[in-house]
Amino acid sequence: MSKYTEDDLREELKTKEYEYGFFTDIESDTFPIGLNEDIVRAISKKKDEPQWMTDWRLEAFKIWKDMTEPEWANVNYKKPDFQSIAYYSAPTSVDPNKTLDDVDPDLLAMYKKLGISVDEQKKMNNVAMDIVVDSVSVATTFKKTLAEKGIIFMSISEAIKEHPELVKKYIGTIVPIKDNFYAALNSAVFSDGSFCYIPKGVKCPMELSTYFRINQGGTGQFERTLLVADEGSYVSYLEGCTAPSRDENQLHAAVVELIALDDAEIKYSTVQNWFPGNSEGKGGVYNFVTKRGLCEKNAKISWTQVETGSAVTWKYPSCILKGDNSVGEFYSIAVTNNFQQADTGTKMIHIGKNTKSTIISKGISAGKSQNSYRGLVQINSRADNARNFSQCDSLLMGNECGAHTFPYIEAKNKTAKVEHEATTSKIGEDQIFYCNQRGIDTEKAIALIVNGFSKEVLNKLPMEFAIEAQKLLEISLEGSVG
Amino acid sequence: MLKINNLHASVEDKGILKGINLEVKAGEVHAIMGPNGSGKSTLASVIAGKEEYEVTDGSIIFEGEDIEELAAEERAHKGVFLSFQYPVEIPGVSVTNFIKTAINESRKAKGLEDMPAKDMLKLIRDKADLLEMDRKFLSRSLNEGFSGGEKKRNEIFQMAMLEPKLAILDETDSGLDIDALRIVANGVNKLKSKDNAVVVITHYQRLLDYIVPDFVHVLYNGKIVKSGGKELAHELEEKGYDWIKEEVNA
């Protein structure tokens, strides 16, 4: 009988290939590499943007030029050469009047490989999809149903043209241009993304979903998402991504801004599965994301993320709890394998009275990866009776990976109640043998243990997403074990 | 059903089992007793296929097949069940989810479809009732925060669900109060049939008042040094193990 040890497990995890590593050859309209004012102008022109938008981008570019990349995160990587990246790429055959039936068959085939059958999604899942391939939206569905409720859900490029008053009012208010290096870069060159507005008192009747995808080799992608939930409204937004396998590192610097006005609620769920690099640590996506939401009075924002991809992740979905009685939540599962590095967590900024935040972070490390939780809970002086509960759990597989926790707490109000719990555990051979003895093989045993570990977070995802996420955890960790 | 011939096994090059011979037939109950460190739990683990133990000589024949090369889960699929002395915790995985996975994995190995949810639910309820388990218990994380009695009851619940041919109960009586012991023993007795067999590993006669053995074996220093009927257990209870040691060392 072969002896199965953690060494074997580690060995097998190493050989796990990226399942979605293929490259679809779609003719792309790609800009020359490099970044300067002319490129910024050209992006804006290409997208037929109004002058205020061009100016906003140029201002961002000016600010970005003088900024330096942050180095405080617990990650090591070769800094991208920002002058060797092409800043715009769009599939060539785009026609705004197209329906899904007219979409490039290569693209549709690609979705099939990914298991994303758009038609099936449309028919069966009650999910409206705004699909971003490279930088330009190629198809938007369910628009009509949403329009009847007054819900606006479209690409941000369209929104800039069709609803300039809304975009102008909110863009950059939550994540200012100069917020950080990557946010400034995104503001200058953002390619596309989604815009969503839920009118007063409207409960969005379906989960809104966007599939992002980086496709063209050597092209950075800079999405911009702006989501406004007006007073008393509710929306659940799903974001999921996979990317084809590429050798050179791909830069991804997205910005997501959420605004929950009085009594509104936003649920924002992400499944991120970009190419993590190969088993030697070559290639993979650099994922430097700024996500932040603002809660007005009695509002609630809930971030849920399942992060399994990318070579380097730098991401802190945060909540500014400005309004009294507002609620912020952050539920996260971050899986790292091979040479992946993740530095992720959240910031909960309590400004209003009786504000409440919950942080549940589950980190799973395998291979030679490094997985860090970094979180800030800040209670400002006016925030009477603010409450926070944080729980950070780490699960280790093997002896070469690392799990780190960096919790920061700043409380300036004596009535604050802040709780922090942290655990670190290892999948034990005893646990695996116990499962084996009950007829469960090692691969399935690990899936079971990992899913059990992640359950509190998986439970927060919408049903169909939870199943997808569960599969993703299995693929990322134990697909080739056994 | 089970035939163990001259079994030698070691862990980290330390010999623990030194030539075990044991035959268990369908419908029989065997008790294995012996002082601490005699190799009782090792024997259970080796039969179940724990990888830390290396079989250095001899064979384990189960249902006519040498199972020594089979992985633990394959032995389980063939009907070997071990009730653990120290059942492990699996946080976030409910008792129900765990047993459902175990049942369906065994079915899959036999080329069967997953058990329909309705049937599964009924089976779980019936077996939980057999072990006088609270329904709330079924949704708790496996063994997490369970009392000693709850853990052992859960082991026998899993045995009832999986309906093994050979059940090895490793110190199932330890940590049980008299009521829990009765419930667990009743459960085992109700599951007993002419087609299956039970091997009870215990220090004490107490459990054997409830699960009455056909044969009692004394394990000492990695070997079965004495075998007899149920009266041997009483003799051990009365006289302890020293006289056996003396006999062996004489």
A189 with A43: CB under 8 angstroms? yes
pLDDT band at A249 (very low <50, low <70, confident <90, very high): low
Residues of B in contact with A436 (CB under 8 A): 49, 71-73, 76
Confidence of residue A31 (pLDDT cuts 50, 70, 90): confident
Give the type of residue at A272. Q
Residue in B51, B102, B162 nearest the CB of A3: B51
Q: How far apart are the first and last CA of chain A?
A: 13
- Coil, helix or strand for B90? strand
What pLDDT is stored for residue A120 in this prediction?
A: 40
B84 interaction partners in chain A (CB closer than 8 Å): 434, 437
Q: State the average pLDDT over residues A390-395.
A: 94
User: Shortest CB distance from B88 goes to which of A4, A430, A455?
Assistant: A430
Q: Enumerate residues 6+ apart whose C-beta is below 8 A from A461.
A: A269, A304, A306, A469
Q: Which carries the bigger pLDDT value, residue A315 or residue A143?
A: A315
CA atoms of A115 and A198, how far apart (whole Å): 29
- Distance, in Å, from the CA atom of A251 to the CA atom of B152, rounded to the nearest integer, reads 53
User: Distance between CA atoms of A445 and A438, rounded to whole angstroms?
Assistant: 10
Q: How far is B54 from chain A (nearest CA, A)?
A: 9
Edge-to-edge strands, sheet with B166-170: B80-83, B166-170, B197-201, B29-33, B215-220, B223-228
Query: For residue A118, is pLDDT > 60?
Result: no
Residue A95 has pLDDT above 60, yes or no: no
Nearest-by-CA chain A residue for B109:
A439
Structure tokens given for A342: 């993740």
Report d(CA B203, CA B225) in Å as an integer: 16
Domain with B57, as residue range(s), is 2-249
In A, minimum Cα distance to B98 occurs at: A448
Closest partner residue to A452 (CB to CB) among B72, B91, B99 is: B91
Average of pLDDT values for A255-271?
96
* Nearest CA among A228, A219, A249 for reference residue A295: A228
Q: Chain A: nearest CA to B30, how far in angstroms?
A: 21
More confident residue, A384 or A122: A384
Q: What is the pLDDT of residue A449?
A: 93
Residues of chain B positioned with their CB less than 8 A from the CB of A431? 88, 90
Residue A261: inside a domain: yes
Q: What is the mean pLDDT of residues A142-155?
A: 82
CA atoms within 13 A on the CB side of A434: 22
**H or E segment to which residue B239 belongs:** helix B230-239
Higher-pLDDT residue of A154, B30: B30
Whether residue A1 lies inside any domain: the answer is no
Q: What pLDDT sits at residue B249?
A: 81
Min Cα distance A397 → chain B (Å) is 15
Which residues from A are below 8 Å from B92, CB to CB?
A: 451-456
Binned at pLDDT 50, 70 and 90, residue A90 comes out as: low
Give the nearest chain A residue to B53 (CA atoms): A3
Total count of domains within chain A: 1
Q: How far apart are CA B199 and CA B61, in angstroms?
A: 15
CATH for B106: 3.40.50.300
- What's the pLDDT tens digit per position in A176-215? 999 999 999 999 999 888 899 999 999 998 888 754 444 4
pLDDT tens digits, A400-428: 889 999 999 999 999 999 999 999 988 88
**pLDDT confidence tier of residue A29, bands split at 50, 70 and 90:** low
Lowest mean pLDDT among A99-108, A234-243, B56-65, B210-219: A99-108
Which among A428, A430, A440 has the least Cβ separation from residue B73?
A440
Q: Is the dihedral of CA A438, A440, A446, A447 positive or negative?
A: negative
C-alpha–C-alpha distance, residues B148 and B86, integer Å: 9
Pick the more confident residue, A46 or B15: B15
Per residue in B106-155, pLDDT tens? 999 999 999 999 999 999 999 999 988 988 899 999 999 999 889 999 99
> Does the pLDDT of residue A15 top 50, yes or no?
no
Beta-carbon count within 10 A of A433 CB:
24
Q: Determine contact, residues B71/B62, Cβ cutoff 8 Å.
A: no
Considering its fold, how many domains does chain B have in total?
Answer: 1
- Reply yes or no on whether the pLDDT at A54 is more than 90: yes
Q: Residue A121 pLDDT > 70, yes or no?
A: no
Is A442 domain-assigned? Answer: yes
Tell me the C-alpha distance between A81 and A66, whole Å. 15
Name the band, by pLDDT with cuts 50, 70 and 90, for residue A137.
Answer: very low
Say if the ipTM goes beyond 0.85. Answer: yes
Residue ranges for chain B with pLDDT beneath 50: none
Question: Within a domain: residue A89?
Answer: yes
Q: Which residue among B50, B81, B106 sits closest to A433, beta carbon to beta carbon?
A: B50
Question: Which residues of chain A from 401 to 460 reach within 8 Å of chain B, CB to CB?
Answer: 428-431, 433-442, 444, 448-449, 451-456
Residue A50: inside a domain, yes or no?
A: yes
Return d(Cα B64, Cα A332) in angstroms, integer: 51
Structure tokens at B99: 């047993």
Cβ distance of A439 and B52 shorter than 8 Å = no
Least confident range from A86-100, A155-169, A372-386, B23-37: namely A86-100
Nearest residue on chain A to B80, alpha-carbon basis? A437
- Do the chains contact at B72 and A428, CB–CB below 8 Å? no
Average predicted confidence (pLDDT) for chain A: 81
Angle at alpha carbon of residue A195, lines to A189 and A198, rounded to 5°: 155
Query: Is A462 within a domain?
Result: yes
